[in-house]
Structure 1
Amino acid sequence: MKIVALVKYVPDATGDREFDDDGTVDREGSDGILSELDEYAIEQSLQIADEGDDVEVVALTVGPDDAADAIKKALQMGANSGVHVLDDAIHGSDALATSAILAAAISQIEPDLVITGMASTDGVMGVIPVMVAERLGWPAATLANELSVEGDKVSIRREGDVTSQRIEASLPAVVSVTDQSGEARYPSMKGIMAAKRKPVEEWDLEDLELDEDGVGFEAARTRVVETRERPPKEAGKVITDEDGSGATALTEFLVAGKYL
């Protein structure tokens, strides 16, 4: 069985995020990391591999040179190999173009199952899993809190506000997992050393037989037209209770902020 885990290299949320003049994210001006939500996808892929025989996990990413670090982290966690789609023409691609690139790469890898995070921590759109599934013509089982594979079917449990759903799909399929699916493992020293020997392939658009005209900034159907710096935080309101009115003032504050 072959599993593709989609991983993305994103700006570190703890640092400052900047935009270039064209409205795209300035990825060189900030430190990057593997998207935290994708760590859960890797973990679920590895759990299936741990429980089964002859299961291969391939980490797949699309992005600039630095995106190789996302694959590196996946390999350190335990993935068997990686594929990095790297092409300057991809810069500025929107979700539609990105899904086309991913679907083309997945078609070449020919996995039985694709596992993704529920969204990326930079874009937070959450549309890529279903877009990729649509392009591949595969079923999509999304927002899984739990998943298992048995035979030629994948089964997930999705927790809603008032219900718990069990969903099954025939393989091949695309599954997205939430941050409640299980804590991701940390790379061990053994895993870090082993990752250096694992194969990573670099593919460009020509390898995927995709036309440059269909991807990139000029082909994007969505675009950031304006950005502003986040306003500084305002000082909090101090409520005293010197005259016994503190409880009333606190209640009024909570009501005004719609906390009650």
Structure 2
Amino acid sequence: MLLENKTAVVYGGGGSIGGAMARAFAAEGARVFLAGRTPAKLDAVADDIRRAGGLAETAVVDALDETAVNGWVDSVVATAGSVDISVNVISHDAIFQPLVDMPVADFARAMEKVARTFLLTGQAAARHMVKQGSGVILHFGGSDSGNSMPGIGTVQIGSDLVEAMRRQWACELGPHSVRVVSMRTGGIPETVPDMPQTEPIKQQMVDATLLGRAATLEDVGRVAAWLVSDHARTLTSTQVNISCGAFVD
């Protein structure tokens, strides 16, 4: 198995993306620790993993709370012996509004959340990974393509911030054999609620691809498991495009 004897922490582990990654990590042999704010969602993912024969534990952790994040990661290492994989997929406070009309306080609050959570969770993992001389920090959903469009407010800016942090983390942690990578999709229809008004959005995701299909949650999990495995040990400071050709590099 790709991740045998590895320990993974997943912030937002009860969500669709975090859950897909956690299930895939566990299926490849990792011991998975799920963090989030909603116990029922975390337990649902953990139960799926356990029914499939995997190892999963849950904890209510606010990924914006420095003391909570550091304490939880320290407890994971005390229990499992290491932290080999760290993933943060908590939701961002996206504000769909032209910047010219956006209150400064709203913009600052949205950016502060992104910066704070990725710095805190990155620091908590990096401290242990540097001592170990190994580890992978995985980001999801960012884009450094420079593309944007009117009216999406903080969405692209927040994503670019995540990618900028990925590059800086990779630069600083590379000498310690710690990798930092990110994944990018053109949208995952499964994550969009099934409502009449959302069907055109899901179809647009498919129509924008070159393969005639969009990435699935299973695709996300499988690629993520490979990326954090030693099979991808040459990859760092890069973004992996799983958009099915919606984004052409």
| CA radius of gyration, larger in | 1
Greater RCO (Cα-Cα under 8 Å, separation 6 or more): 1
Structure with greater helix percent: 2
Q: Shorter-chain TM-score category? A: 0.3 to 0.5
Structure with greater strand percent: 1
